[in-house]
Structure 1
Amino acid sequence: MALFIDTDLCTNMGACEPECPHTAIYDVGEYWKFSDGTSLSGQVKNLNGEVIDADVINKPLSDESYFIVADKCTNCIGEYDEPQCAAVCATDAPTLITGLEEEDKSRLIKKKEWLTEEQYNLDL
């Protein structure tokens, strides 16, 4: 399952942001796109089969602390032995989301492939 940043623990030091291989972590109040740090561009099908525009600028998910875009978070599966944001965080702010449908390893690998392989870009 994706990680989130516990706002009660986050000190906004920013060590996590550059460590994310898919640019899923953003600064306080920062606008974001699916195309940031990924191979996604233009019209793409997401893992639910919906067509989205990877270049659309989305509103910040938090104006209080750094935040993680769950649809871009792979827990670093297939790239590192542990989530890199959690490895560098001094306060353990990156935490597993609880109460949501758990993503198994195969789904996280599919998400990594979706973010890194150009085959998901559509010519519409």
Structure 2
Amino acid sequence: MALTISEECINCDVCEPQCPNDAIYMGPEIYIIEPEKCTECVGHHDEPQCMAVCPVDCISPHPEWNETPEQLMEKFKLLQQQKK
């Protein structure tokens, strides 16, 4: 399941550099997580790093992107292949 950032985001800039998949970027008003690139850090870390560092807890599972851990791992592998 991909993650999403809510309107409570204070644009503190701590989540973006923590994302190993470069899935987080600054949108028009708040940071945005690109669901196609978000693996919840599967393949990189034991927990989503953006959630771990967010000071206002504005990051949560995306309601429209339900993925199993196996699907997240497959997405991770595909993203790694694309980096080569």
Task: Compute the TM-score of the two structures, normalised by the length of structure 2.
Answer: 0.92
Give the corresponding residue for 1:4: 4
User: Percent sequence identity over matched residues?
Assistant: 42
1:8-61 CA-partner distances (Å, limit 9, x unpaired)? x10000100000001000013xxxxxxxxxxxxxxxxxxxxxxxxxxxxxxxxx
Secondary structure, counterpart of 1:87 in structure 2: helix
Paired residues in the alignment total 84
User: Which of the pair has more CA radius of gyration?
Assistant: 1
Q: Which residue of 1 aligns with 2:17?
A: 18
Q: Which runs of 5+ in 1 are unaligned?
A: 29-62
In structure 2, runs of 5+ residues without a counterpart are none
Pairing partner for 2:69 from 101, 105, 119: 105
Q: Residue deviations 1:60-111, cap 9 Å, x none?
A: xxx110000000000001211110000000011111112x251001110011
Alignment match, 1:66: 31
Q: What CA distance in whole angstroms lies between the structure 2 residues aligned with 1:90 and 1:105?
A: 26
SS, match of residue 67 in structure 1: strand
Secondary structure at 2:36 match in 1 = helix
1:82 aligns with 2:47: yes
Letter paired with 1:110: E
**Taking structure 1 as the reference length, what is the TM-score of the superposition?**
0.63
**Deviating runs (4+, > 6 A) in structure 1?**
none
Q: Which amino acid aligns with 1:85?
A: C
Change in CA separation of 1:117 and 1:86 when aligned onto 2, cut-off 3 Å: same
